[in-house]
Chains A and B, each alone.
Chain A
């Protein structure tokens, strides 16, 4: 089951990259055609941009995700000995190297893990979760995150976040381009700019569901159950995680400045307010089902 999951995660990561490059190629070809009447130029530019972006993301993903979520890094046990020591313990028993540890200044209790592989992993916890949970509950949460690390869930999830935000950026650019492109005075440019604007705005319409389904593809709800079970395997104490999940589920969402929506799927519980769209593309199984599954262990 576990090795199945790891293999599946690795396959999906490749799938994500292929999908991303195909997507970049289509956008590039469209832009190239309308800007310079040359599909090839667009393709080359898109490919270069895509490779540079993907390479940068692969190398810097942890820092990018952490800064997207306004996290600051702990350099040693002094600032928060309890958190540091718990992460150390969980890494020890999961037999993975000690990950980097970050804290997000937010009153809502939540936590996540990110990184490309267990050797370059990072975990983050909000100040809210540190204040509210006792040691065994926090152990449960960190064990859950360490299981994501061990199962290679973090690579897939982090790449999904990075690529989704790239597409979001592009969509944003498209909307802006249409705005200032439409306002241009020059008569010569006007026609082609309008066409580009229309194309880009159409892309925006198409992009939103694609973004959602990328996240959907990457984050299976099954994975959360697996991480919960893995956490209990590490701590040998289901009660800690159960009561942590209960405390987390009864709390308010995180402040919107602190969470980049594309990274919501990383968190142990959804950090954003649920509305109809979020419910439909829910990245996490309902909390009561997770708790029920834990009770059966």
Chain B
């Protein structure tokens, strides 16, 4: 009888351990999946940028420097090691703000604004920018869920035994918290 109870207890414990372990794996998988969402959008944007540059170039009597900056940031992003998430996001954020200034200046070129190709690219880029922002938010949400699981009892025991490491949040860049300021250099036009 005692043996039977002992066996039952062990079986229950094993089942609990397995299900908690699997829950943790799934939760960690979610954060990875969320990161890959961001990655997909970053790649998509990298593909769109050369087209944008080509389209804008013809009209651009303006800001050659901004175009070059966008290109160089894009190249940095392409060659950046993908395992350092925060570094990748940092370059990506700089790229975002450079793109914003291209858009803002381009607003004052009626010919460019009327260009179909440009309008399409604008929507595509706005779409990727938003997707990057929203998948970053999703990444942080899934990370928060995962990290909370690591600390909560009794999941914490399994997490310690299985050496689960907490995931790091993506930080919100300072410049995204305030509204972007766009300056027009009248003399440069």
CB within 8 Å of B: which residues of A?
81-82, 85-86, 88-89, 92-93, 95, 135, 139, 236
Range, interface on chain B: 10 to 19
Q: Is the CB of A92 within 8 A of B138?
A: yes
Q: Is the CB of B138 within 8 A of A93?
A: yes
Q: Which residue of B lies closest to A81 (CB)?
A: B123
Candidates A88, A92, A135, A236; contact of B126 at CB < 8 Å: A135
Q: In the complex, what's the smallest C-beta–C-beta distance from A286 to chain B, in angstroms?
A: 31
Q: Which residue of A lies closest to B124 (CB)?
A: A81
Q: Is the CB of B127 within 8 A of A93?
A: no
Contacts of B69 in A (CB 8 A): none
Q: Is B135 an interface residue (CB 8 A)?
A: yes
Q: Which residue of B lies closest to A86 (CB)?
A: B130
How many angstroms between the C-alpha atoms of A85 and B134 in the bound complex?
Answer: 12
Q: Is B27 an interface residue (CB 8 A)?
A: no
CB proximity to A under 8 Å, residues B109-139: 120, 123-124, 126-127, 130-131, 134-135, 137-138
Q: Which residue of A lies closest to B120 (CB)?
A: A81
Contacts of B130 in A (CB 8 A): 85-86, 89, 135, 139
Q: Is the CB of B131 within 8 A of A92?
A: yes
CB within 8 Å of A: which residues of B?
37, 120, 123-124, 126-127, 130-131, 134-135, 137-138
Q: Determine the main DSSP class of A at the interface with B.
A: helix
How many angstroms between the C-alpha atoms of A22 and B114 in the bound complex?
Answer: 61
How many angstroms between the C-alpha atoms of A191 and B106 in the bound complex?
Answer: 80
Besides the known contacts A92-B134, A135-B126, 6 further A-B residue pairs in the complex with CB atoms under 8 A apart = A85-B130, A85-B131, A89-B127, A92-B37, A93-B138, A95-B138
Q: Is the CB of A93 within 8 A of B137?
A: yes
Contacts of A85 in B (CB 8 A): 123, 126-127, 130-131
Contacts of B123 in A (CB 8 A): 81-82, 85
Q: Is the CB of B127 within 8 A of A92?
A: no
Contacts of A93 in B (CB 8 A): 134-135, 137-138
Q: In the complex, what's the smallest C-beta–C-beta distance from A58 to chain B, in angstroms?
A: 31
How many angstroms between the C-alpha atoms of A186 and B123 in the bound complex?
Answer: 69
In the A-B complex, the 9 residue pairs with the closest CB atoms: A85-B127, A93-B134, A81-B123, A89-B134, A89-B130, A93-B138, A92-B134, A93-B137, A89-B131
Q: In the complex, what's the smallest C-beta–C-beta distance from B126 to chain A, in angstroms?
A: 7
Q: In the complex, what's the smallest C-beta–C-beta distance from B136 to chain A, in angstroms?
A: 10
